[in-house]
Structures are given as structure tokens and as C-alpha cells.
Amino acid sequence: MVCCFVFFAAALSAAEEYTYWIDECTPEAARATACDANDPQLGQWALEAWQRESNGAVTFRKSASAAHARVAIHWANGATSLYGETVALVVDGRPGAAIYVLPDTRGLGAAIDRATGSDRLLRDAVVYLTFLHESGHALGLKHTAEFADIMYSFRYGGDIAEYFERYRRL
């Protein structure tokens, strides 16, 4: 994970400000996506982690609206069978991204479903790490084949439940 942060900090030459928006988990959103009222905080922490680890190369400022946010985070309902998805777009003439995070861990496979069903902290770790990974894409980072990296792609295989559980243990 550290190698991605170091690469990221070196890749940006000057401080880059990103405006962001994170959808609230309204009762309607919770029914449709299984988001939790505290999930937006997990997204906030992920953005703060990128800001901190970039050593000032990137900053985040909350946008007044989703329409003008360079990074807009929305809840996914699981129809795509993905943990998360990042879609590049242009916002007010600048590069940005729409991020979709699946907070319903039941859609992430039997092993994750079993593990998170009885462990709320693991469930939150999965959602947080999905925010962290997808916001890395929004900042321009690509997938890696290194299992220890936050930008690791599950297409390379590996013990996916263990990927999340090691962070939960920390």
C-alpha cells in the first residue's frame, strides 16, 4: 500500500485541489443499497488518507453540490456485482470522477458475506477500503498485481476475504 502512496505523491508536482461530494445514506438509499448512516464518514476518512499520504500534493474540499464535485461518491445497489466502480468524467472543465461504492457486503460473495455478517468492523473495513481504492482511481492510480497494495485488482485472484481481514486485524 505504501508504494502506491509514494508513487502518488511523486506523480503530482503541485498541490491539486479536488472538490468532493459524498451522498448521504438516507432511509431511501439504505433500503436500496444497504448503506449505513455512518458510511459517508468512511468515505471522508478515505479522502483524508489520500490527502495526508500525498504530503500536500492533493487536497480535498467539500463541494456545495454533487454537480460541481470533481470526485462524487454515490451508493451502488449491487446490480453490477462490483465492490466499487470509478467512472472518469469532466467537471467544470477539469478531470474528475464519479465513484460508486457497494455497501451491501452480501453481494460480494459467500466468504465476505459470512465474515461480515457477524463482524461489523470487518464490514466497515470492506466499505472503507473500497472508498480508498476507488478514490485512488479518481486520482489517476491504476490497478496493480501486488496483493499488499490498496490498488490491487481482484482479477489477479488471491484470498479476497483475507485481503480485507488483514486490515480489520490492524
Provide the pLDDT confidence category of residue 2 given band limits of 50, 70 and 90: very low
* Cα 14 from Cα 39, distance rounded (Å): 31
Provide the pLDDT confidence category of residue 94 given band limits of 50, 70 and 90: very high
For position 75, what pLDDT does the model report? 95
What average pLDDT does the structure give for the chain? Answer: 90
Chain segment 96-131, per-residue pLDDT in tens? 999 999 999 888 888 889 999 999 999 999 999 999
For position 80, what pLDDT does the model report? 67
Q: Which contacts (CB < 8 Å, 24+ apart) does range 50-55 have?
A: 50/8, 50/132, 50/135, 50/136, 50/139, 53/5, 53/8, 53/9, 54/5, 54/8, 54/9, 54/12, 55/9
For position 12, what pLDDT does the model report? 45
Chain segment 15-64, per-residue pLDDT in tens? 899 999 999 999 999 999 999 999 999 999 999 999 999 998 999 999 99
> From edge to edge, which strands make up the β-sheet containing 58-62?
58-62, 16-22, 71-75, 94-101, 84-91
